[in-house]
Amino acid sequence: MPDTNVRDPLHGITLEEILNALVKRHGWAGLGQRVPARCFLYEPSVKSSLAFLRKTPWARRKIEAMYLRELPRRAPAAPEACITSVAATLLAAMGVAGGLEPSAAAPDARALKLLPAGGVKKVLVYAPDAIGRRMVTLHAELFENFFSAGFTRVDVRSVFPSKTPVCYASMFTGLPPAGHGIAQYEKPALGCKTLFDALPAGGVKTAIAAVKGSSIDLIFRGRPVDYFSGECDQQVTASALELIENGGHDFILVYHQEYDDLLHAVGPWKDGAVAAVRRHADAFLRLAEAFDRKWSGVPRAALFAPDHGAHTDPATGKGIHGDDCPADMDVAHFWKFST
Torsion, Cα of 139, 144, 145, 146 (10° steps): 90
Say how far apart CA 93 and CA 107 lie, in whole Å. Answer: 9
**Considering the complex, what minimum distance in angstroms separates the CB of residue 260 from Zn ion?**
4
Site size toward Zn ion (CB under 5 A) is: 1
DSSP collapsed to 3 states, the chain: CCCHHHHCCCCCCCHHHHHHHHHHHHHHHHHHHHCCCHHHHCCCCHHHHHHHHHHCHHHHHHHHHHHHHHCCCCCCCCCCCECCHHHHHHHHHCCCCCCCCCCCCCCCHHHHCCCCCCCCCEEEEEEECCCCHHHHHHCHHHCHHHHHCCCEEEEEECCCCCCHHHHHHHHHHCCCHHHHCCCCCCCCCCCCCCHHHHHHHCCCCEEEEEECCCHHHHHCCCCCCEEEEECCHHHHHHHHHHHHHHCCCCEEEEEECHHHHHHHHHCCCCHHHHHHHHHHHHHHHHHHHHHHHHCCCCCEEEEECCCCCCEECCCCCCEECCCCCHHHHEEEEEEEEEC
**Considering the complex, what minimum distance in angstroms separates the CB of residue 247 from Zn ion?**
34
**Considering the complex, what minimum distance in angstroms separates the CB of residue 252 from Zn ion?**
23
Binding window for Zn ion (CB under 5 A); candidates: 15-23, 53-61, 105-113, 254-262: 254-262
**Considering the complex, what minimum distance in angstroms separates the CB of residue 314 from Zn ion?**
17
Closer to Zn ion by Cβ: residue 96 or 273: 273
Closer to Zn ion by Cβ: residue 258 or 260: 260
Closer to Zn ion by Cβ: residue 99 or 128: 128
**Considering the complex, what minimum distance in angstroms separates the CB of residue 65 from Zn ion?**
17
Among 64, 217, 250, 260, binds Zn ion (CB under 5 A): 260
Closer to Zn ion by Cβ: residue 250 or 260: 260
Closer to Zn ion by Cβ: residue 47 or 212: 212
**Considering the complex, what minimum distance in angstroms separates the CB of residue 177 from Zn ion?**
16
Closer to Zn ion by Cβ: residue 122 or 264: 264
Binding window for Zn ion (CB under 5 A); candidates: 42-50, 165-173, 241-249, 252-260: 252-260
Closer to Zn ion by Cβ: residue 302 or 305: 305
**Considering the complex, what minimum distance in angstroms separates the CB of residue 238 from Zn ion?**
24
**Considering the complex, what minimum distance in angstroms separates the CB of residue 75 from Zn ion?**
28
**Which positions from 127 through 186 interact with Zn ion, judged by CB under 5 A?**
none
Binding window for Zn ion (CB under 5 A); candidates: 23-31, 99-107, 179-187, 257-265: 257-265
Q: Which residue is nearest to Zn ion (CB)?
A: 260
Q: Would you count residue 250 as binding Zn ion (CB under 5 A)? A: no
Whether 337 and 91 have beta carbons less than 8 Å apart is answered as no
Binding window for Zn ion (CB under 5 A); candidates: 32-40, 58-66, 235-243, 253-261: 253-261
Query: Which residue ranges make up the site for Zn ion (CB under 5 A)?
Result: 260
